[in-house]
Amino acid sequence: MNFLVTGGAGFIGSHVCERLLAEGHRVWSFDNLNTFYNPAIKQRNLAEVAGNGLPFTAITGDLTSRAAVDAVLAATQFDQVIHLAARAGVRPSLEQPALYLRSNVEGTANLLEACRTHGVRKITIASSSSVYGVNASVPFSESDPIFSAISPYAASKLACEALGHVYHHVYGMDVAMLRFFTVYGPRQRPDLAIHKFAHLITAGKPIPVFGDGSTARDYTYVTDTLQGILACTKQEFGFEIFNLGESQTVTLSQLIEELEKALGQKAIIDRKPPQPGDVPITYANIEKARARLGYAPGIKISQGIPLFVEWFRSQNKAVAP
């Protein structure tokens, strides 16, 4: 099949492209290579995907340009689209809310409309655990009410979920919305906590810890997330939302301990007040994904952090964040 992967130069996207190619598909990446973090990192990801010698095409373009999106969909008859491109991160969205809404919501609307126009019926879209906000019910279930977003990033992802439902309901498109829970592993973005902390610890610099270290996250190893994404490409749903998490929580203090152990080096802690937009916990109920997708995550944090550190050390001579 022909697959278009938006955000294909990024952390999760580049892994998705590789996995699709390994399964025998033809893959096109669409990514604007923006400067949210060093574009050279994204170029390296693309080079690694292309280095397999399989049918892969990398296109540079911006989803906020309807003409650019339409041109890509007009040039190739795609069987499916996997939409991973987005402005990511809760804290940066507090500084640039309009940019996040334009990139994530307008970009998604442009892509859905281009899919409709050019006859692509099936699309898998990345959402986020951020949509749950400060949720009193744990673990988080897809059926929980989600009207309490506490960041522009979360609000933009809620809007994308609503758009996906509209295009299913009105135009009959097959849409799967995937709520990711703190994905980590090789190629993780340098701004994310695990990568950022590993860089600072090895450099002997303080790591910023917001709050008392009790905030907890459902850290999900990238190969487990990939398992859920690829499962969505193999069946039709109409419209469904799935949590893709590890269904285990790790406090920030525990995470730092795991990193110290894997790196063989103690962290210097720089305590800071809690940040607006941060939620106290994320915790995925994955029973629906288990039942409908055969989703079975298997990498615990005690295994995943050493695997990340092994990759991190291999990148010492690569481009800086």
Would you name the residues annotated as active-site residues?
153
**Number of Cβ within a 10 Å radius of residue 268:** 11
CA-to-CA separations, 243 to 182, 285, 293, 308, 311, in angstroms, rounded? 11, 7, 11, 23, 26
Q: 308: burial class by Cβ within 10 Å (0-12, 13-18, 19+)?
A: buried
Question: 3-state DSSP call for residue 10?
Answer: coil
Token pair for 288: 């629906």
Handedness of CA 88, 9, 124, 142 (dihedral sign): negative
Query: Are 9 and 181 in contact, with CB atoms under 8 Å apart?
Result: no
Strand boundaries in the chain, DSSP class E = 2-6, 26-31, 56-60, 80-83, 122-128, 174-180, 183-184, 206-210, 216-217, 220-221, 239-244, 250-251, 268-272
Cα 192 to the center of its chain, rounded Å: 11
Residue 244, phi then psi, degrees to nearest 5: -120, 90
Token pair for 9: 């130069």
